[in-house]
Structure 1
Amino acid sequence: MKWDDLANEPCSVARTVAVIGDRWTLMILRDVFLGIRRFEDFQARLGISRTITAERLKALVDEGVLKKVAYQDRPLRHEYRLTDKGLDLYPVIMAIVNFGDRHYAGEAGPPLLHRHKACGCDFAPVMTCSECHAPVGARDVETRAGPGAV
């Protein structure tokens, strides 16, 4: 399977990886969820070229994950904001954060803590069943063909 063919695969993982599977794209998404919105800020934080920054942001806009919003008229400048589709990636980013915190944080602990605004408590993301609300792990799930299976 070639990288360019992933978007056409009958697999939700492949189709998603076709959009967010690049390391710089994931780092841009991390930064967007941390409140970064402007091109120069992405470039400065990531230390990557203007070309790579522009390509990744354009791809996310083209895919409908981010939208460009003007914040200045003269000269015209835009910032990048998450769309509803982009906000749906939050659990994905949090799963990656949780994995990194558990396996790579080191003795000092995780570099960032996440506080639930409603209750004021720091939390670790937990995947739960949408029906019974019980925690779900890899050994608790089985798969079967769905309506989109080929």
Structure 2
Amino acid sequence: MRKRIDPSISKTLPLHQEGWMDLEASAEVEVTSEDAAHPIEAALLPGEGSGWRAAAPGPQTIRILFDTPTDLRLIHLVFTEETTHRAQEFVLRWSAGDDQPMQEIVRQQYNFTPISSEVEDYAVDLQRVRRIELEVNPSIGGFGSLAQLTELRFR
């Protein structure tokens, strides 16, 4: 057996090299709350941590406000649960502007067990998007769980 040590294999590529949109340069983000140890950047930017987590229990909203109208073809979401059994629902919506109504893209529910994750890729044809909104209800049964998001990416 031959072996080679190559640390560059595990380096995170810049977003543009992976084909993902660079939200840091092209959008503003609003969140209803965030744990200081798990800020929203940790879900939106690779290499920034292990994902976003809310500071308070209950439903939470993440809103992406694009600087200019943006066409989207793929929305990538990853949710991870490490400690509890729970049922979660999320709703993903979009709008072409502040004066335009939000249109639902998808509404999804999951049953999580400890150490589980859900990866979702949605092929879309959204044109001139100004706003994307992700609403997460981390505990449909009302158990006081914290909303979490491991990754959110756009192409």
Superposition TM-score, scaled by structure 1 size: 0.22
Structure whose residues are more often helix by fraction: 1
Give the number of the structure whose alpha-carbon radius of gyration is greater: 1
Superposition TM-score, scaled by structure 2 size: 0.22
Structure whose residues are more often strand by fraction: 2
| Bigger relative contact order, structure 1 or 2 (CA pairs below 8 A, ≥6 apart) | 2
